[in-house]
């Protein structure tokens, strides 16, 4: 296993506030700077720092669904998005980001109906295999294209 998918937390509207850490929602992956905040206790596994690879498993086709690199302040991950923990000694995060973008096109193409929303369950995602060059230098070269 070269990565692990960790789901965000389903924050309830009554937990939202104006103080505390921002909560990353799907709209924030598309550039919205409108955040709800949370100031209570949380599991450290949903803490997201700048540069973290994320995957929105439920979102709009061609925009929010799929991989994203978080480029904001330290925040907490909301439901409908996975934190992708990469085993850095085996796979380059940038390579995996590009591989997941390619996989996203495949998933979107197989989505049922004409709906703009796409959804995939964790067990379905974990069934996919991605060919990964064994050398990190080769992965980085491919990702840099």
Q: Return the domain boundaries, the chain.
A: 3-143
**What does the block give as tokens for 60?**
């709009």
Pairing relation of β-strands 75-77 and 21-24? parallel
Q: How sure is the predictor about 37, in pLDDT bands with cuts at 50, 70 and 90?
A: very high
pLDDT at position 129, please? 84
> When comparing pLDDT for 100 and 115, which is higher?
100
- Which percentage of the chain shows pLDDT scores above 70? 96
pLDDT at position 51, please? 95
pLDDT at position 145, please? 60
CA–CA separation, 122 vs 125, rounded Å?
A: 5
pTM of the model: 0.89
CATH for the stretch 3-143: 3.90.220.20
pLDDT at position 40, please? 95
């Amino acid at each position: 296993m070269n990565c692990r998918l960790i789901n965000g937390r389903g924050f309830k509207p009554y937990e939202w506030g104006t103080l505390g850490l921002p909560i990353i929602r799907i709209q924030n992956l598309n550039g919205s700077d409108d955040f709800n905040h949370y100031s209570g206790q949380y599991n450290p596994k949903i803490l997201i720092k700048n540069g973290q690879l994320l995957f929105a498993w439920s979102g709009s086709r061609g925009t929010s669904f799929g991989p994203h690199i978080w480029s904001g302040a330290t925040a907490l991950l909301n439901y409908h998005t996975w934190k992708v923990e990469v085993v850095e000694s085996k796979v380059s995060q940038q390579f995996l980001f590009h591989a997941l973008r390619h996989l996203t096109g495949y998933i979107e193409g197989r989505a049922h109906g004409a709906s703009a929303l796409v959804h995939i369950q964790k067990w379905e995602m974990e069934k996919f295999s991605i060919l990964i060059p064994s050398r990190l230098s080769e992965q980085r070269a491919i990702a840099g294209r």
